[in-house]
Amino acid sequence: MKHLGTCVVPSAPENVVNGRRWLLGQLEPLLGARHSACEDSVLLLSETLTNAIVHGGGDLVEVDAYVGTANIRIEVTDEGGDSVPHHVDDPHGEHGRGLPILAMLAKSWGFGQLDDGRLRVWFEVPHTGGSAPVRSPSRNDGTRGEAPAPSPGTAHIADR
């Protein structure tokens, strides 16, 4: 996979928009404006970056973007707070929808603690290249993808 770059985001909720804009700026020139994989990747980055800022501790969060022939891979690395990603079973709560969204839209995802104690959450979104139209938001085709080669320290992998 080709590394598109790294964006370092100050750990404050109002900075999530900067991470989204950065990622869109990396992906749109490659895949075209309003490509479904771009939109899915930006949405999933918003969820994972928000979680890293809220739960990760520290002053900065790193976002790395990669593109391969069939997938976009995003890695969000925080300073490693007191919790790891987990599902919240409160359908009426204000929080806890990020992982279900991640599980629905990502081809595969996972997380792990790095040797330096930081926590990395990663996900991959399939792309077709070119300008694929934006699909309806209710996609769930039930396909399963190959798990990517794990990053150092990966402890959890989820495929759909």
- Domain that residue 96 falls in: 2-126
Helices (H) and strands (E) in the chain, counts: 3, 6
Does residue 141 lie within any of the structural domains? no
Does residue 119 lie within any of the structural domains? yes
Burial-class residue 157 by CB neighbours within 10 Å (0-12, 13-18, 19+). middle
Overall pTM surpassing 0.85 (yes/no):
no
**pLDDT beyond 90 at 132:** no
CB contact at 8 A, 38 and 26: no
For the chain, the domain total comes to 1
What's the rounded mean pLDDT across residues 130-152? 42
Does residue 9 lie within any of the structural domains? yes
The 10s digit of each residue's pLDDT in 15-62 is 999 999 999 999 999 998 889 999 999 999 999 999 999 888 889 999
* Amino acid, res. 78: D
Does residue 87 lie within any of the structural domains? yes
